[in-house]
Chains A and B, each alone.
Chain A
Amino acid sequence: MNWVALRRGNFPLTRNLHNSAISFAKANVKKKPLGGKTKAKQGFKTKNASDSKVKKSGTTHLVFKDAVRRLGYEKYAPVFTANELAHKDLDTRVGEIVKYKRSTESKLRLLGSFKKYQHHELFRNPVSLISENLIQINNRFVEKFDDGSANNRTILMGDYKVGKSTLISQTQSLVDDKYNGEVVLLHFDYPERTKEGTSDYLFNKRREIYQQPMFTKRWIMKTRQANKDIFSKMLLSKDVTFVTRKVEFKYEAGKNTLYEYLKNCHDFGKTESNNAFEFFISELKHHSATYPVLLSIDNFNALTTSPFTKYKHPDFKPIHFKEFEVGKFFLDYASGSENFTKGGVLLGESCDSGKHDNLSIALGLTAYDPYRASSLDTNLIERLMSNGGISVFDVQQLPKSQIRSLCEFYHENGVLFMRDYIYKDDDREVDLSLEQIADLNYTKSGGNPGLLLKHVTMSF
């Protein structure tokens, strides 16, 4: 109580009942207890009670980085006009910013070629730049499709965010355009899934191999959707019989298509031994002379860095990735022991998966050290070195001219973020020309497209 105020005669104003209407009196609001449990109200909710609640627009439970990707911000991006990425006259279009063909883009989306954290939400459609890397991969890989996949194996290596995964999707697009969509695209965007223990597994005694029904089923589903047109043209080379939902299907060679088989055969996801995946690959192999196959495996070094999976044998020994059906498929085609008559195997390295000498020795980048043999998987190295080995493609940083064209494009699309001058008290006005901005960004990113995009978009 303020005793000084009381002594001066400043008494607190109190409301007298005789000169104020009762209707003006404040309603007696029951105070809620500060702590402890409140008594729950029993009974049904009235209609009015639910109406009075203001429903807030739901966003997402995801963290910011994932939310911007999932909430479809690309819908609000300005529409841009750019030419489509095409195989024709590629050499003359270096430095041009292009978008993917509509049909190819939908295929690549289904296959998972556009990865998260690549900031595709900034633009209406995924964009790409025709760089020297693309020209080189076209000459060294796409043009060699007729040699067969065993003789056409390339691994993309390079610095963090230099564009290895983007180059894979660009290559897929080029191949798709070169063969007018009559090419089979097989893509594994995250092969770590085969070894991280998220799929069920069972042992196929006949083939002496482990199968992963959940993983295989999901991969087959998206591959089937992406390659629908081409699979619909592929007639089966062998008769096949299977049972789905108590209905027996008898597909005859030369009559039914591979798409029909993939659509109706649910053996891929069955928790019992089957040879559906083997049959599918054998069919692709059979047709590969007519319809080339591009097998692309991103993050391939994740498999070679730690080849043992989190799965265990019944005797509690870890299972090697090559003992799985899909892992064996990776290794067979990456090592060239299996071959598509026309096609290629494109592998990608991930800088997040750690480095190990297994891969670098297999590629001939590091000398084999016999004193470290115990930490190496010599069998895996030998397999990868066999049949002429895998050729290394070193993905290069972009030159300044291409960084400039990227900055110009970002500026046109409202993506380019320019910071205030560092010394805010300074009256100097900063008016940078595009040339200066390009210089600045080239210096900061060192020609790395991923770092450039991060730098111009992120405020940190």
Chain B
Amino acid sequence: MGVHVFGKSIKHNSLVSVGLAKKIFGVGFLTAERICAKVGIYPQMRMNQLTEPQILAINKELSDLTIEGHLKQKINDNIKLKRTIGTWAGQRHAAGLPVRGQRTRNNASTANRLNKLDRHT
């Protein structure tokens, strides 16, 4: 059973703060706890204990943040901008190599996997 918040199904027996942080892209533990404090959700509350008005209040708080698709789009746009203006970071993204001066003799597999022009498709 899942509880639907912001279009995401979150496990019913997870803590609200943990569930939000785990499921919603762009929401970490601190942001999740901030949202809970603002809405008045107690720290040990579980997802299945949320009432309808509380879910709506969480949705309202989340809609004010740059998360999920908007955040992914923003990241992609930033990478594209760097590429178009020809920065070093943009070139490294295009080449799928580490951006921040890491060595590439060994490893660099994370960069190979993630560093693309369309990072979030």
A197 lies within 8 A of chain B by Cβ: yes
Contact of B42 among A197, A203, A314, A316 (CB under 8 A): A197
**Contact across chains for A197 and B43 when beta carbons are under 8 A apart:** yes
B37 lies within 8 A of chain A by Cβ: yes
Distance A201 CA – B34 CA, assembled complex (angstroms): 16
Distance A197 CA – B46 CA, assembled complex (angstroms): 12
Chain B residues within 8 Å of A310, by CB: 43
**Contact across chains for B45 and A200 when beta carbons are under 8 A apart:** yes
Chain B residues within 8 Å of A197, by CB: 42-44
Measured as residues with beta carbon below 8 angstroms from the partner, the interface class of chain A is 10 to 19
Measured as residues with beta carbon below 8 angstroms from the partner, the interface class of chain B is 10 to 19
Q: Which residues of B (51-86) have their CB < 8 Å from a CB of A? A: none
Chain B residues within 8 Å of A315, by CB: 37
Chain A residues within 8 Å of B36, by CB: 312
Chain A residues within 8 Å of B37, by CB: 312-316
Smallest CB gap from A271: residue in B: B51
Interface of A is mostly: loop
B38 lies within 8 A of chain A by Cβ: yes
A199 lies within 8 A of chain B by Cβ: yes
**Contact across chains for A198 and B44 when beta carbons are under 8 A apart:** yes
Chain B residues within 8 Å of A202, by CB: 40
Q: Which residues of A (172-224) have their CB < 8 Å from a CB of B? A: 196-203
**Contact across chains for A198 and B40 when beta carbons are under 8 A apart:** no
Smallest CB gap from B37: residue in A: A312
**Contact across chains for B40 and A201 when beta carbons are under 8 A apart:** yes
A311 lies within 8 A of chain B by Cβ: yes
Interface core residue of A198, A199, A316 (most chain B CB under 10 Å): A316
Smallest CB gap from B49: residue in A: A200
**Contact across chains for B38 and A311 when beta carbons are under 8 A apart:** no
Interface core residue of B38, B40, B42, B43 (most chain A CB under 10 Å): B42
Smallest CB gap from A310: residue in B: B43
Interface core residue of B36, B38, B43 (most chain A CB under 10 Å): B43
Distance A315 CA – B45 CA, assembled complex (angstroms): 19
Distance A198 CA – B49 CA, assembled complex (angstroms): 12
Contact of A200 among B33, B34, B42 (CB under 8 A): B42
Interface core residue of B33, B34, B36, B37 (most chain A CB under 10 Å): B37
Smallest CB gap from B42: residue in A: A200
Chain A residues within 8 Å of B33, by CB: 312, 316
Distance A201 CA – B40 CA, assembled complex (angstroms): 7
Distance A314 CA – B36 CA, assembled complex (angstroms): 9
Q: Which residues of A (290-314) have their CB < 8 Å from a CB of B? A: 310-314
Q: Which residues of A (93-138) have their CB < 8 Å from a CB of B? A: none
Distance A142 CA – B93 CA, assembled complex (angstroms): 77
Shortest C-beta distance, A455 to chain B (Å), equals 37
Distance A198 CA – B43 CA, assembled complex (angstroms): 7
**Contact across chains for A311 and B45 when beta carbons are under 8 A apart:** no
Distance A91 CA – B13 CA, assembled complex (angstroms): 55
Chain B residues within 8 Å of A203, by CB: 40
Shortest C-beta distance, B64 to chain A (Å), equals 14
Shortest C-beta distance, A334 to chain B (Å), equals 25
**Contact across chains for B42 and A198 when beta carbons are under 8 A apart:** yes
**Contact across chains for A201 and B42 when beta carbons are under 8 A apart:** yes
Which residues of B are at the interface with A, using a C-beta cutoff of 8 A? 33-34, 36-38, 40, 42-45
Between-chain CB contacts (< 8 Å), 28 pairs:
A196-B44, A197-B42, A197-B43, A197-B44, A198-B42, A198-B44, A200-B42, A200-B45, A201-B40, A201-B42, A202-B40, A203-B40, A310-B43, A311-B42, A311-B43, A312-B33, A312-B36, A312-B37, A312-B43, A313-B37, A314-B37, A314-B38, A314-B40, A315-B37, A316-B33, A316-B34, A316-B37, A316-B38
What would 14 more interface pairs be, CB under 8 Å, given A312-B43, A314-B37, A316-B34? A197-B42, A197-B43, A197-B44, A198-B42, A199-B42, A200-B42, A200-B45, A311-B42, A311-B43, A312-B33, A312-B36, A314-B38, A314-B40, A315-B37
